[in-house]
Structure 1
């Protein structure tokens, strides 16, 4: 396994983190699902951390959550690495994200880890097309 960069390495270390994730958990989703899940996972994490795009996730953010100030400024937040993998069955997946951010108090931390879980649904109104929806971890 590739060596992980030291904390505080910044953007220069992100590629090594991505490679370490990909080596540790080999891909097991088709390209379309992988791309869809990574996009959704990144958007959901960004909405949670920065507040940007929370209205796209009504099941995740209740109406009262919309008024809560985000912990991180969008300019001081970045996703260092991300992978999407099956989570026990073909219709369940987890997006594993490693990210960095500086909170409102000025404390900067990298290598934060967030796992977001999704379930595949099949829409009968869209000709049987599937979509991934966020699921709370039970």
Structure 2
């Protein structure tokens, strides 16, 4: 994948993850967050690193792996946490997809 596209997808996944753990910005992806309640928000969230890779055999799906840090609901600072966000292309735009548990 071209570096410019990877940067764009990492930035998108970062915004989605920030909304996931802080609650801020969830209205941008109402279908993605419709059934997900925010139990206890994190604060001071920042993304430390990220990469995007195409899902094998699915050029319209991308896994974005992020390393992130933030202050947990108990007030403890945690860093080096890993998460993966799945994105799918719908026509010309990318959006988040919930991964099955």
Identify whether the pair has TM-score above 0.5, normalized to the shorter chain: yes
| Alignment size in residue pairs | 99
Cα distance in 2 between the residues matched to 1:41 and 1:50? 14
Tell me which structure has the larger Cα radius of gyration. 1
Distance 1:64 1:135, change over 3 A: closer
Highest relative contact order (Cα 8 Å, sep 6+), 1 or 2? 2
Cα distance in 2 between the residues matched to 1:36 and 1:70? 28
Given candidates 45, 56, 69, the residue that maps to 1:100 is 69
* 1:133 maps onto 2:95 in alignment: yes
TM-score by length of 2: 0.84
List runs of 5+ in structure 1 lacking aligned partners: 1-28, 123-129
Residues 28-74 of structure 1, C-alpha deviation per residue, up to 9 Å, x if partnerless? x1244323311210100111111111100112211773xx464212x
- 1:35 aligned counterpart, secondary structure: helix
What is the RMSD of the two structures over their aligned residues, measured on CA atoms? Answer: 1.8
Distance 1:107 1:59, change over 3 A: same
